[in-house]
Structure 1
Amino acid sequence: MNFSWYTSAILTILFWGIADLFYKKGTDSKDRYSHLRIIVMVGFVMGIQAMFELSKMDFQYDPMNIITYLPVSSMYILSMALGYVGLRYLEVSINSPVGNTSGAVAGILAFIVLGKTMSPLQLFAVTLITVGLISIAVIERKLAEEERKLQNIVIDRKYKIGAIALIFPILYAIIDALGTFLDDVYLSNIMGPEDALISYELTFLF
């Protein structure tokens, strides 16, 4: 069965959203290690996927690719870890939109550094996403200030530090964008997508 790019994009959004719900369910603001458990399990699943990809290639893979691709892999893994930490204190409706602006940041980096072009519509989309990110941060801080004034109401600790915790999805967006930017460079000049994917998944596993 062949899917169009649009169908694939919609399915990706759907499954990504479902995954975020499970990530949120698995985090606990009172458990400092909950995000680490998620990372371990994600790494395990990545390892299974890597074995599947290796079998398709008849295990013709150079392990040195893991070292070569390490700068990109480390960016992706670090960004995901920070995103999971943010989920301990933020609602999915706040954490995910902010974190997923990484695509816009990567587009800006490609535009500035690699000299790639943007159509007026693409530029408008990037601007709209950036403004949305800033708006969410401002609104979150305003809500936090209002909560501090309502001292007669008991406020859940995780929401008290929500404005501070917003730094985690922001860092996710920036670091993931750097990973995506480096990914573009690697895939264009150094290795193919299959080798890159397997290298990332094996790094996550180990």
Structure 2
Amino acid sequence: MIFVIDQNGRFLYAADTPADADNWTAVQLPQPCWNPRFKGTRIPDSGEWKGQWEHDGEPVPTSAELCTRVDNYADQARQTVAGDPLRALEYERATAEAQAFKDAGYPADAVPRSVAAWAIMGRAPREAADSMLAESARYAELLYLVRERRLEAKELIRDRIANGAIDEARKAADEAIKAIQTAVTGTGKPEPSLQ
């Protein structure tokens, strides 16, 4: 009889023992799997097992694994902020046009198309440009924050792993992810309105 448990040590199911699995719990499983082992004895009368499952601990993460985790979360955060890459390009172009319009003194006879598109519902071209620039600044700040937290965390992770401080490396990754999440979701709707 073999017993299958999940990664948290909870019992999933039992099955008949395969013919070649006499000592299956003595064989080390490859990382990053945990290596569960059953410690106990079989009751001869009933055939049931008495004992408990133990494992040799959670696999030690590498700096590459933790850095990739932070990078992946930063990618998701940027996706939340900017949407698709073409929308990010649209925001950059709209911001450049709004800034050029402002720098030229908001000329009424030369309103850029991206500004004119936002100058709707009673919004004057100057108000539209200023609104777009304010949203652009917020958008840029969020992207800078994601970048700063991501790069800072990756350096901390590499340093902690190199010094054998695995728990501190995990904590650095978790804190960076939380900081990014708070920045992106804590400021209201993350998507700028540079339409």
Q: TM-score range with shorter-chain normalisation? A: under 0.3
More helix as a share of residues: 1
Larger Rg: 2
Structure with the higher fraction of residues in strand conformation: 2
